[in-house]
Every structure is written in C-alpha cells, then in structure tokens.
C-alpha cells in the first residue's frame, strides 16, 4: 500500500484536534471511534481512509501493535476466510517528538457500509444482511473452537461491515451478497490466553484520574465481550437502536434465536430476549454518554486552563 508519509507529517504540523477539518491541509471526516479519527485527505488522490490512533508513547508499543495488527488481519483473511479491505499502517515521530500512528485502508463508498445500507433496503433484505453477518460470526467462532491456542474476537456492529459491489441506485441484498469486515485496526486476538495488543493503552483517551478506576472496573469486561459470541450478537442487534431502526429488533431477535438453534447449535448458547437487548443498549449508551462528557470536560481543562495539547478527537454529539 502506497502511503505518503511526508503528507502525513505535514498534516500533523497543522491539524487542530478541536477543528480537524479546518486545517491548512483539508480533510474530510469519515467517522469517529472511541479513541480514533477516521478521515480522507482531500486532494490526495490516493483513495485511502486514514485512522489516526494517538495512544502510543514508545516505539516498543507501536511495534507490538503493528505485529498484532498484521497477525489479526492475516488470520481473519487467510485462516478464517473473512474478506477485509486492503490495509496498512504508518507511524513516525512528529516535530515535537511524539509518536503518530495511523492505520490505513482503501476508502469505500460510504453508502456500502452496513449502517447506511440498512436505511436503503427492505426490511426483509435487512434480515438477509443480518443472517450474512451471523454467518461471518460463525466462521470466527468455529475457528476458535478448532484452535484452542488462538482466540479471535470481533466488534460485530453493523457499521463494521460493508457490502461488496453495493449499488445505492439499485440497492439489493440477497443470500449471495459478499461482505467486507472493516474493523481490522483493533487486533482482538489472544495467543495462549495472552492479548496480542496492549489493551490498557485504549484507556489513554480517558482523563488520567479515571484510568485506574476504568482499568479495574471495566477494561477486562469490555475487552472480553468481543470474544463472547453471544454478547457480540447482542451488541449487533442492540446497535439497531442507535441506528434508528429499533422497529426491526423483535424480528432480528427471532432471526438470531433461530440461527442459534440451527447453524450455531454446537455452541449451546441461550436464546436472546428483548429485555436483555434493551438493558444492554441502555447501559452501553449511558456509559458512553458519561464517558464522552468527561472527556470533553478533560479537553476543556487541558486546552483552556493548562494550555496543553489534547491529542484526541471528540465528536460534538454522538446519537445513542
């Protein structure tokens, strides 16, 4: 993958975390993660999406993450059989000596991403799409069952899948539709029970005074849910509240339960209930609202009062 490192270095000199689209090098924001900013560089003519992940303090941390990232992508593609976009990574020390790290993927048509697709197709086709996603889940957890040394996790929200060859002018999904899995930059893979990535680094976007509490109370459980097939399915369905398609949730629960009894019967998972989907969503949404509010307060103190640089990019509002 041809990544223009010089252009990224120039971008780092002029980008404003508070107003990232208003810098001297124009970018277009494609999305926000909990710790990242995803964007394209306008005029670069490279058809790439850049995911800036500002969490690393040492070269050792970066090299470990790149190793885990490559291993995760390789296993997803070559051993499990998920289709993923072409991707790469880039890092450097900026003019202040701070490490800047980017994961880079080929840029896709935004209309082909799952959370956009579900607003363009029929309700029946949404169910077909979710069954296709569940089939992707089955590939991963069947691999895990066959390979006790390696454990692979997924963030299975619908926004992490894209439809190959999707035509927004004639939107259509059927059983032969192929999907790309997009969230390959967070290497959720355990080898002999040990996380390949250094998960504690993902707490760096939290205010310093909260990190110890979050590590003790939430980190293990938050990471664990991506390795738990049932919880990944719950997260997939509960996310339809956020995507404003809540009316589909009862149908999707029935679909998932049928899939659990049929194609996923070997995993012996308990059926899902509407009440636990609601409870999960409310708890998750409340946690992220509080977390974002605390981060914005921390940014205010760091930038306005202490005149320090704030490394993370916060959306003004996240609909939950």
Is beta strand 48-52 parallel, antiparallel or unpaired with respect to 37-41? antiparallel
Nearest to residue 103, comparing CAs of 223, 3, 205, 10?
3
Best CA proximity match to 48, nearest among 38, 58, 56, 57:
38
Q: Please list the ranges in the chain whose pLDDT falls under 70.
A: 217, 316-320
pTM of the model: 0.91
Q: What is the CATH number of the domain that holds 141?
A: 1.10.510
Q: Which residues pair with 52 in a beta bridge?
A: 37, 102
Write the DSSP assignment of 175-236 as a string of letters: TT--EEE---SS--EEETTEESS-GGGGGTTS-HHHHHHHIIIIIHHHHHGGG-HHHHHHHH
pLDDT for residue 192 = 94
Q: Is the dihedral of CA 154, 165, 66, 143 positive or negative?
A: positive
List the domain range (segments joined by +) for residue 170: 5-305
Q: Is residue 142 part of a domain?
A: yes
Residue 319 dihedral angles phi and psi, to the nearest 5°: -75, 125
The answer to whether residue 222 is domain-embedded is yes
The pLDDT score that the predictor gives to residue 204 is 81
Residue 130 domain flag: yes
Q: Which helix (H) or strand (E) holds 92?
A: strand 87-93
| Residue of 55, 168, 187, 62 lying closest to 118 (CA atoms) | 168
Query: In whole angstroms, what is the distance from residue 77 CA to residue 85 CA?
Result: 10
pLDDT of residue 89: 96
Contacts of 161 (CB under 8 A, 6+ apart): 113, 114, 133, 136, 179, 180, 181, 182
Please give the structure tokens belonging to residue 169: 């002018």
- Calculate the CA dihedral of residues 242, 251, 175, 112 and round it to 10 degrees: -20
Tell me what pLDDT residue 317 has: 62
Is residue 317, in this structure, part of any structural domain at all?
A: no
Total number of domains in the chain: 1
pLDDT at 320: 54
For residue 316, tell me if it sits in a domain. Answer: no
The answer to the question of residue 134 being in a domain is yes
Give the gyration radius of the chain's Cα atoms: 20
Residue pLDDT, tens place only, 113-129: 999 999 999 999 999 99
Classified as helix, coil or strand, 164 is: coil
pLDDT of residue 316: 66
Q: What is the pLDDT of residues 222-243, one digit of tens each?
A: 889 999 999 999 999 999 999 9
The answer as to whether 294 is a domain residue is: yes
Per the domain annotation, does 195 fall within a domain? yes
């Amino acid at each position: 993958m041809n990544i223009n490192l010089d252009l990224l270095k120039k971008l780092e000199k002029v980008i404003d975390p508070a107003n990232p689209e208003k810098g001297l090098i124009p970018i277009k924001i494609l999305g926000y993660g909990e710790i990242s900013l995803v964007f394209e560089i306008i005029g670069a003519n490279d058809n790439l999406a850049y995911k800036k992940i500002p969490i690393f303090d040492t070269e050792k941390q970066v090299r470990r993450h790149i190793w885990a990232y490559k291993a995760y992508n390789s296993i997803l593609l070559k051993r499990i059989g998920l289709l993923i976009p072409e991707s790469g990574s880039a890092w450097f020390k900026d003019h202040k000596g701070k490490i800047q790290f980017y994961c880079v993927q080929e840029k896709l048509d935004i209309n082909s991403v799952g959370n956009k697709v579900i607003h363009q197709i029929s309700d029946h086709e949404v169910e077909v799409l979710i069954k296709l996603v569940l089939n992707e889940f089955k590939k991963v957890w069947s691999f895990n069952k066959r390979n006790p040394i390696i454990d692979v996790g997924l963030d299975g929200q619908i926004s992490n899948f894209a439809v190959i060859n999707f035509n927004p002018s004639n939107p259509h999904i059927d059983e032969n539709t192929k999907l790309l899995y997009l969230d390959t930059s967070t290497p959720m893979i355990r080898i002999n029970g040990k996380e390949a990535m250094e998960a504690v680094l993902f707490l760096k976007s939290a205010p310093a005074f909260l990190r110890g509490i979050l590590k003790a109370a939430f980190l293990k459980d938050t990471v664990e849910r991506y390795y738990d097939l049932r919880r990944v399915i719950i997260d997939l369905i509960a996310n339809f509240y956020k995507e404003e398609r809540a009316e589909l949730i009862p149908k999707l629960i029935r679909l998932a339960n049928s899939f659990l009894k049929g194609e996923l019967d070997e995993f012996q998972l308990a059926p899902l209930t509407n009440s636990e989907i609601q409870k999960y969503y409310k708890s998750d949404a409340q946690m992220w609202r509080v977390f974002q509010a605390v981060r914005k307060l921390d940014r205010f103190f760091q930038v306005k009062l202490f005149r320090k640089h704030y490394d993370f990019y916060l959306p003004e509002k996240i609909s939950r």
